[in-house]
Amino acid sequence: MIALSQTIPEVAYPDLSTFRFGGCLNGAAFTNDGIFRSIIPPLCPKCGVMMNRNGYNTYGKKYIGSIKMGRYICPICKESCEEDRSFWEELKGNLFGSMDAIYQQLRFYHVSYAGISKTMELIFPRGKSTIWNAFTESVEKTCIPPVQDIQIVHYDEQHSQTSGIQKYRLTLLDDATGRPIADELYDSKDSETIKAFFAKHLDPNRCIFIVTDLASGYPGILYDIFGDNVTHQLCLLHLNKLIAGNFPRNATIEQELMKYRMLNIFYNRDAEIKMLEEMAVEEERLIGQNDQKKYEAWLKEKIAAFRIFLHDQELSRRRKEENLEQRSYQEALEIFTALMAELVSCQLSSVG
């Protein structure tokens, strides 16, 4: 028989009598003792003699249930076989496929693997490592449609003067080649001027990815020209400057560490964070000694050492002709989510 675990009483399992058993139900049934077997025993695949019933094998899956599959043995040649259990594998596959869809949906809304694991305790208990493996495997198996012809461009504005008159240089750069698509001077850079510039040099009916600075007016301008065909990305350089600008120039080690943890969202700053974390432990100890003069001397020395470390890192990248390692979207999202969760936790702790 098939015994389903009642993990959730509210879950509506399919009617097993109508479940898609394939061809197994043709001439097959459940016996009084709950064994799934053919009404008429099969013929021996070797000698052709009708086989005898020979007990059963039990197959189960934790939190799902179990099934008893009938066994047979030939009275002549002793060849053995059992009922086809493909429908049991199909039942499990459908269940795990549904759970994979749940994982993907929750990840789409940025739920952490730990959060998904806690949610699944209400449905089908699974650890976060198991969920991560299942999610990764399901993504790898996903049939991805061909990439559309998406144009990627960078938009920039510069303020210049021509014969003492203020002008605005509007520039579009092609991401693939790095070459200018358009570079023109205007008397104004208001929204109508920018719209006209975009409409003149870019196809509004083509899918486009545009990188701009942090000015707040771009989303509305881009939507008016391209509608749903546009994807707007803020420049990572400007985002990094925005982060750095929110911290004091004469920062403590704790402040410097938080700054680099935020910069780490977009670029790999693991080496800098490791160094600052070691300094932060010592800083906390010195602050506890209430010796301001000693602490200030120590802080000046450590900040100088950190600046030298940064300079050496930059020189090393230049010699290797490398740039800072940029985070993938998924990495950046996970780091950002972890930082936000930590912030919320700190706020709740302070309130409590």
Q: Has residue 6 got a pLDDT over 50?
A: no
Q: Has residue 13 got a pLDDT over 60?
A: no
Task: Kindly indicate the confidence band of residue 195, based on its pLDDT and cuts at 50, 70 and 90.
Answer: very high
Question: For position 110, what pLDDT does the model report?
Answer: 86
Question: For position 16, what pLDDT does the model report?
Answer: 44
Clarify whether residues 167 and 200 are in a common domain. yes
Mean pLDDT in residue range 306-333: 92
Q: Which of 84, 100, 131 is the last residue of a domain?
A: 84
AA letter at 174: D
Task: Kindly indicate the confidence band of residue 344, based on its pLDDT and cuts at 50, 70 and 90.
Answer: confident
Clarify whether residues 212 and 293 are in a common domain. no
DSSP string, 154-186: EEEEEEEEETTEEEEEEEEEETTT--EEEEEEE
Q: Do the domain assignments include residue 265? A: yes
Clarify whether residues 272 and 344 are in a common domain. yes
Clarify whether residues 317 and 230 are in a common domain. no
Clarify whether residues 19 and 56 are in a common domain. yes
Q: Do the domain assignments include residue 185? A: yes
Q: Do the domain assignments include residue 146? A: no
User: For residue range 177-188, what is the model confidence (pLDDT) as tens digits?
Assistant: 889 999 999 988
The residue segments making up the domain with residue 136 are 92-141
Asked whether 67 and 3 are in contact (CB, 8 A), the reply is yes
Question: For position 27, what pLDDT does the model report?
Answer: 57
- The secondary structure element, H or E, covering residue 65 is strand 65-73
Question: For position 306, what pLDDT does the model report?
Answer: 96
Domain with residue 168: its CATH number is 3.30.420.10
Q: Do the domain assignments include residue 252? A: yes
Mean pLDDT in residue range 277-293: 92
Question: For position 23, what pLDDT does the model report?
Answer: 46
Clarify whether residues 243 and 201 are in a common domain. no
Q: Which of 234, 265, 287 is the last residue of a domain?
A: 234
User: CA-CA distance, 329 to 106, in Å (whole number)?
Assistant: 17
Q: Which long-range contacts (CB under 8 A, 24 or more apart) does 18-24 make?
A: 19/87, 19/91, 20/87, 20/90, 21/87, 22/84, 22/86, 22/87, 22/90, 24/83, 24/84, 24/86, 24/87
The burial class, CB within 10 Å (0-12 / 13-18 / 19+), for 255 is middle
Q: Do the domain assignments include residue 312? A: yes
Q: Do the domain assignments include residue 205? A: yes
Clarify whether residues 230 and 242 are in a common domain. no
Clarify whether residues 74 and 96 are in a common domain. no
User: For residue range 42-57, what is the model confidence (pLDDT) as tens digits?
Assistant: 889 898 899 998 888 8
Q: What percent of the chain has pLDDT over 90?
A: 40
Clarify whether residues 54 and 33 are in a common domain. yes
User: CA-CA distance, 269 to 326, in Å (whole number)?
Assistant: 10
Region class of 22: left (phi > 0), else alpha (psi between -120 and 50), else beta? left
Q: Has residue 10 got a pLDDT over 50?
A: no
Q: Which of 35, 59, 84 is the last residue of a domain?
A: 84
Number of folded domains that form the chain: 4
Q: Has residue 294 got a pLDDT over 60?
A: yes
Specify the pairing of strand 208-212 against strand 151-162.
Answer: parallel
Q: Do the domain assignments include residue 258? A: yes
Q: Report the chain's mean pLDDT, rounded to a whole number.
A: 85
Mean pLDDT in residue range 12-20: 42
Clarify whether residues 115 and 190 are in a common domain. no
Question: For position 28, what pLDDT does the model report?
Answer: 62
Look-up: residue for tokens 């090393």?
A: 316
Mean pLDDT in residue range 73-93: 86
Q: What percent of the chain has pLDDT over 70?
A: 89
